[in-house]
Each structure stands twice: as structure tokens, then as C-alpha cells.
Amino acid sequence: MAQAAKLPLTDTARADARRRRAHGSTWIWMGGGVAFALAAVLVGITVGPVSIDVGGIVESAASHIPFLGVRSHLSATDSAVVWELRLPRVVLGLLVGAMLSCAGATYQGVFRNPLVDPYLLGVAAGAGLGATMMIAYAPGQAFDGDLLPVAAFAGGAVAVVIAYTIGSTSRSRASATLVLAGVTVTAFLTSIQTFVQQQHSDTLQAVYSWILGSLDTAGWHDVLLILPYAAVSAIVLLLHRRVLDVMTLGDDEAAALGVNVGRTRLLLVAAATIGTAAAVAVAGLIGFIGIIVPHFIRLVAGSSYRIVLPLSLLVGGGFLVLCDVLARTVVAPAELPIGVVTAFFGAPFFAVLLRTSRSVG
């Protein structure tokens, strides 16, 4: 009798021990993600044609904090390089990489497909069409002010709205229908973009330069432009990371557990789309980030979205910053489009992923 009474306590103790281990490992992975992002920031700020040591940068940063009394020994030129050229580019890279990787992880959970990316519902095609039309029909104003990012953002948002409207009309297998709707909208908008490009062949170089992605003109204005959208998107997605774990079980199982599947899917798709559209609007179409980063995290840290989403923000941001460092140093003084660098790493990873998708899905 006494032995039987101890069994539930033993099971409870074992469950508590497993939860404590999982909780501890989560904090370890989060610490590693923060360290990786900070290391990427330091590399992004220090590496370049002008050599600036970390100590000088830390000293310069401390000099901007009131009451510390620290005086920076950086020259005016070096200070301008750090604060006006490199730092805004690094911060923008962090935001763009974080949004693309977190949105990719969210889409993979919502649609229960490990091979989808944040461009699934046509945001890339819509943004590309919006940017192409702005460059083709208003070349003088396209790169003046915020018109090009606004056109790209609007195009991407409209494309997703159309795809979601088409896909949500089916009551059965809504996820599969949305995927097909996204493919259809992407093909249609891409055909229109191709037609516009053929009619305005003189703008092809500018269009392809934007499509391949770049952070070379990044400034604090671009950071402020994307920041509100990135903040809203990240907050909504992180608050629903536990719900994503439930949705991966399937629509029927999630509904049985009390989740309003349709409403939750719409909210998550909208939040991921806002972040993706904002990232594309300021940096162009940068591929593979939304696939390779979430899968790498699943392989090393586990598949729970309680850890996948926050780590996607940290690792995705740091990864894109390092890719940008390669883009501006490999063929210096020229620069590679950052999309070329991400494709260099992403394409082989995706090829391996296709062969092992059963084990990582």
C-alpha cells in the first residue's frame, strides 16, 4: 500500500526533473543566441576597409552615456564610420534577418510544412511587382525618399491578402489550399512583373539590384522605418509560440484543445507577413534565411516553438549581419548582393534538407 502511494510521487518528481532540465537548457540556448548576435554585431562594426578596434568602439559608446565621464579617442572620421555607416547597417541587418527567420519558422508551424519560407503566400512576388512598377514608371522618384519601400510593402501586403482570401474560401484542408493559393498568386504577379520589365528594359539593372537584396545604402532612417513593424510582428509571434506548438498537431487536435484555428492562423499569418513585408521593403528579396535558420535551430535545440521562435530572431539577425560582412568584403571595394551570399549557404543546406526532410519535419 505504501509502495503504491509512492509511485505517483515518483512519476511527478521525474516529470518535474524533466521540466527543470528543459527549462535550464532553454536558458542555455537563449544565452548562446544572445552571444552569437552580439558577436555578429562586433564583427559587423569592426570589419571593413577602416580598421577600428573593439576597445575604441566601446570607449566611443561609453562617451555617449551621461555622467560616466569617458572621453572617446576615436577620430571624427572613425566615429562617423562607426555611428553613421556601420552601426545602422548592422542594426538593419539584425532586424531584417530576425524578421525573415522568425516569419519563416512561423509559416512552417502554421502550415505544418518544414520546407516553406516567409515568401510562401506571395509577399516576395507582390513586393517585387510594387518595386518594379515604381522603378519603371517613376524612376526619378523611386530612390528618393520612402516611395520605393512603401510600394514594395504595399505590393507584398496586397499579394498576401489576395492569396489568403482565395485560400480561406475552402473549409477543408485550409493549410494546403492556402499554399496552393500562394503559388497561384506568386505565378500571376511574377508574370506581370516580367511584362513590366520587358516594357522598360532600361530599368532592368536597378530592378535586379533591388531584387537580389542589399544593405549598402542603410541608414538610421531605414532602421526607424522598419522598427515599428518588426516590433509588432515579433511581439505577436513570440506571444503565440506555445499556440504554434499546439497547431503543429493538426487543425482538429488544436480545435479540440480549445484553439480557434481559423482566427489564430489569420493572426499569425498577418503578423509574419507584416514583418516580412517590412524587411523586404527596406532590404529587397533576401532568400533562404527563413528556411535555413529555423531548421538549424530545430536540429541543435529541439523543435518546440517556445525555443525556435526566440532563437530564430537572434540567430537569424546575427547570421544576416555576418552574410553582409562577407558581401562587402569578399570582392572589396565592390560589394556582392547579399542575396547571393545567403543563396551560397542556403542552396546546399536546402538540398540536404530535401533529402532528410522526413527526419527534420
C-alpha cell at 265: 492562423
What does the pLDDT read at residue 174? Answer: 61
CATH superfamily of 28-50+78-356: ABC transporter involved in vitamin B12 uptake, BtuC (1.10.3470.10)
C-alpha cell at 153: 510593402
Tell me how far the alpha carbon of residue 43 is from its chain's centroid.
20
Close Cβ partners of 314 (under 8 Å, ≥ 6 residues apart): 30, 33, 34, 36, 37, 98
Q: How far is CA 323 from CA 69, 124, 128, 273, 341, in A?
A: 36, 20, 22, 23, 6
Q: Which amino acid is located at 70 in the chain? A: V
What does the pLDDT read at residue 145? Answer: 67
pLDDT per residue rounded down to tens, the chain (361 residues): 444 444 444 544 454 444 444 445 888 999 999 999 999 999 999 988 887 888 888 878 887 787 777 777 788 888 888 888 899 999 999 999 999 999 999 999 998 887 788 998 999 999 999 999 999 888 777 666 678 899 999 999 999 999 988 887 765 556 778 888 999 999 999 999 999 998 888 888 888 888 888 888 788 999 999 999 999 999 999 999 999 999 888 888 888 888 888 899 999 999 999 999 999 999 999 989 999 999 999 988 888 999 999 999 999 999 999 999 999 988 888 888 898 999 998 888 878 777 765 544 4
Q: Are 323 and 212 in contact (CB under 8 A)?
A: no
Q: Are 338 and 213 in contact (CB under 8 A)?
A: yes
Close Cβ partners of 112 (under 8 Å, ≥ 6 residues apart): 175, 247, 248, 250
What does the pLDDT read at residue 194? Answer: 92
What does the pLDDT read at residue 204? Answer: 84
Tally: H helices and E strands in the chain = 17, 0
pTM value is 0.87
Q: Are 80 and 52 in contact (CB under 8 A)?
A: no
What does the pLDDT read at residue 171? Answer: 58
Please name which of 337, 330, 301 lies closest in space to residue 36, comparing C-alpha atoms.
Answer: 301
What is the C-alpha separation between 206 and 132, in angstroms, rounded? Answer: 9
DSSP state of 50: S
Please name which of 176, 182, 143 lies closest in space to residue 159, comparing C-alpha atoms.
Answer: 182
Please name which of 357, 342, 355 lies closest in space to residue 293, comparing C-alpha atoms.
Answer: 342
What does the pLDDT read at residue 32? Answer: 93
Give me the residue spans of the domains in the chain: 28-50+78-356
Close Cβ partners of 75 (under 8 Å, ≥ 6 residues apart): none
C-alpha cell at 253: 487536435
